[in-house]
Structure formats: C-alpha cells, structure tokens
Structure 1
Amino acid sequence: MGKGRIEAFSDGVIAIIITIMVLELEVPHHVDLHSLLPLLPVFLSYVLSFIMIGIYWNNHHHMFHVVHHVRGGVLWANLHLLFWLSLMPFTTAWMGENHIESLPVALYGFVLMMSGVAYYILARSLIALEGQDSALAIAFGQDRKGKISVLIYAAAIVLAFVSPWIAIACYVVVALIWLVPDRRVEKVLLAAPAHGNTPGPNAPHP
C-alpha cells in the first residue's frame, strides 16, 4: 500500500488537535492586562503542548519520508499514536484550567509517555516492513533519545505528586531534546545514493 493516505490523514488529525487546543483559550471579557493573568496557566500549557505536537509532526514527517510503502499493521500503529496525541487537548486544558495541579500534570505526563511508546512502536513496525538494512533502521538505531524521553516522562509522573513544577520542568527538558527535527534521518538521506533504499558507504551507524 502507498503511504500518501496515511501521511495526509495524520497531518489532518494533528491539525485538528492543534485547533482544538487553541479553542480552549477563552477570550477575556475585559481589555486590561489584569484580565489576562488568569489565562496564563492555560496559555503556558497550550505553548508546551503545541511544541510537543509540533515535535511529533516533524519527526513523523521525517520518518515517513524514507518509507516506501505501508501495510495493515503500520496503519494500526499509526492510529495508536494518533489516539494518544488526540488526548492532548483534554489533558492540556485540564492542566491549565486547574493551574498546574498534581493529578492533571501527572495525567498529562502519562499521555506524553504513551505517545512516546506509540511512536516507538510505529517506528519499529516500519523498520520490520522496510528491513534492518533500510535507511530508517540505520537512522533510528537504538533510539536512545526516545528511550530516555520515556524514562523522563515516567519519572515526571511520580514527581508531579511531589511538585507539579518539577514535572513540568521534566517535560520541558524532553521538548528541548527533541525541538530540533530528527537529524538522524537527514544524515542518512544525505549519505544515501540518489536512488534506492540502501545508504552509502558514509552513512552513520547507531
């Protein structure tokens, strides 16, 4: 099966997720700066979630750029990822509306963690389809950054009940780790021949 529909569908779902999140920013009824202060936690939650969704969109795009075709298992793995990402508007709104309280922050972290797990499953499904010698397999490598991110999320869920702001700091750290689009795929593409799926002799190794 071709990959065009799965990319278009994913782009559409992610665009809707961002739209739903921004609609949670209610317009204040007054025109002074003081009226904006109650919206600050909601706005900060939105900014963090927007960055997170943007990171997934960037890396999803990079990953599918080196994929040639998909199959049923990949479709379900992709839907699994989109399921967890689709919960972001709810957890973002709950966290912001309750001014960064422990339980909403922990649930937010749980959704982030499961999104990371789902992305890993999707990547492995694609590698199984493309082959261990494919550009994606070489670019993905051992995915240490992805595994570390999931561990940070897991720790942040626990730390949210100690201090929600420490958990938020953990989420920000993960966002900073991933803020730059995944260069592993770009390096493999640059090292690969103009045609085909096999990287060139200078391709990076995990």
Structure 2
Amino acid sequence: MEKNRLEAFSDGVLAIIITIMVLELKVPHGDDLAALVPLWPVYVSYVLSFIYVGIYWNNHHHMLHAAHRVNGSVLWANLHLLFWLSLLPFTTGWMGENHFGRWPTVLYGINLLLCALAYVVLQMVLVNYHGKQSPLARALGSDIKGKISPVLYLAGCALAALDYPHIGAIFFGIVALIWLVPDQRMERLALAAREQREE
C-alpha cells in the first residue's frame, strides 16, 4: 500500500506535539529580563524536546523516503512510535516545571528510551517488509548511533535516579547532539532513489 497517508499523519502528529509543548510555556509576570531567570528549566527542557522531535521528524522522513511501500505492520509500528513521542509534552513539562528534579528527569529519560526503541522497531518492521537485501536494509547497516543511544539514555536515567538529575540530563543532551546531524545513510539512499526516478 502507498505510504503517503502514513507520512501525512505522522507529520501532523509531530506538528501537534510541538504545538502542545510550546503552549506549555507560560509568559512570566514582569517586564524585565530578570523575570525570565526562574523559568530557565522550562525553556531548556522545551528546547531539548524540540530538538528531539526535529530529529525524529528528519530521520523518519528520510527512512520513509527510502521505503517504497508500507503494510499493516508498518502502520502499527509507526503508531507505536507516535504514541511514545506524544508523551514528550507531558514528560518535558514535568521535568521543566520541577527544575530537572530527580524523578521527572528519570521519567523523561525513560520516555526518550522508549521513543528510541520504538524507532528501532519501526526500522526492523520496514526492513522485514522490504527484505534483508533491500537498499533500505543496506543503508541502515550496523547503525552505531542507534546502538549507542539506548546505553546513554540508560546511563542518564541511572544518574538521575541516583540523585544526579542534571548530569543525567546532560547525557540526554549528548544523544541529541549525536543525532543532530541527519542520517547520511538515508540521505544518500534518498538521493540515489530520486536520481533513479529522474532518469
């Protein structure tokens, strides 16, 4: 089946997630810059989550561009990913409002971990559907970043649970930095597919 509806639905959900997160930002009482200072955890958590949603949108776009078709399993795997991503506004808000407190930061890290695992499941389902020798499967390769990320999430959650939430949040930021550069494997595959269609 065609993938257009899946892409459109996913884009819409991700746009709503960002909208919900930005609506959680409260306007401070006061007209000077000092009024913003107490709100720094809220803004920092928003920026971090915005970057994560952007990373997922970017990589999701490239991966689906490399996929030629979808089936029911892909649709459910995609919904599974969107479910965990849709919880980001809640965990982001809780962590920001509580100034990166211990348990809010742990829950935020768990949410990020579950998003990452759901993305891996979506990759696996797409590869299974397209075949182990498909261009998509070859482009994914060993996926070093995908294997490092859950380890860093778990380390961040452990540090936060041990009452070092700010250090745990730094680990979450490191994962975001790792993924900030778009996945070159998928970009190359998407470019090759586009060139092939134009010939």
Partner of 2:57 in structure 1? 57
23-32 or 54-63: bigger deviation: 23-32
Partner of 2:148 in structure 1? 148
Partner of 2:173 in structure 1? 172
Partner of 1:185 in structure 2? 186
% identity of equivalent residues:
60
TM-score, length-scaled by structure 2: 0.94
**1:1-206 correspondence runs (5 A):** 1-162=1-162, 163-190=164-191, 194-195=195-196
125-134 or 10-19: bigger deviation: 125-134
Structure 1 residues 20 and 193: CA distance shift in structure 2, 3 A: closer
Asked if 2 retains the 8 angstrom alpha-carbon contact of 1:110 and 1:153, the reply is yes
- Specify every segment of 5 or more residues in structure 1 that has no aligned partner in the other structure, as ranges: 197-206
Structure 1 residues 195 and 146: CA distance shift in structure 2, 3 A: same
Shift of 1:187: 2.4
Shift of 1:161: 2.3
Partner of 1:200 in structure 2? none
1:165-192 deviation per Cα after TM superposition (whole angstroms, max 9, x unaligned): 1111101110111001110112234556
Asked if 2 retains the 8 angstrom alpha-carbon contact of 1:67 and 1:130, the reply is yes
Shift of 1:142: 2.0
Shift of 1:144: 1.9
Partners in 2 of 1:153 and 1:98 — Cα distance? 20
Partners in 1 of 2:124 and 2:78 — Cα distance? 11
**Structure 1: 4+ residue segments shifted above 2 A:** 187-196
Structure 1 residues 62 and 33: CA distance shift in structure 2, 3 A: same
- Specify every segment of 5 or more residues in structure 2 that has no aligned partner in the other structure, as ranges: none
SS at match of 1:158: helix
TM-score, length-scaled by structure 1: 0.91
Letter in 1 for 2:129: L
Asked if 2 retains the 8 angstrom alpha-carbon contact of 1:135 and 1:185, the reply is no
Asked if 1 retains the 8 angstrom alpha-carbon contact of 2:87 and 2:111, the reply is yes
Q: Which has the higher helix share?
A: 2
Letter in 2 for 1:183: Q
Provide the alpha-carbon RMSD of the alignment: 1.4
Letter in 1 for 2:173: V
Asked if 1 retains the 8 angstrom alpha-carbon contact of 2:62 and 2:190, the reply is no
Partners in 1 of 2:124 and 2:47 — Cα distance? 30
Partners in 2 of 1:107 and 1:46 — Cα distance? 15
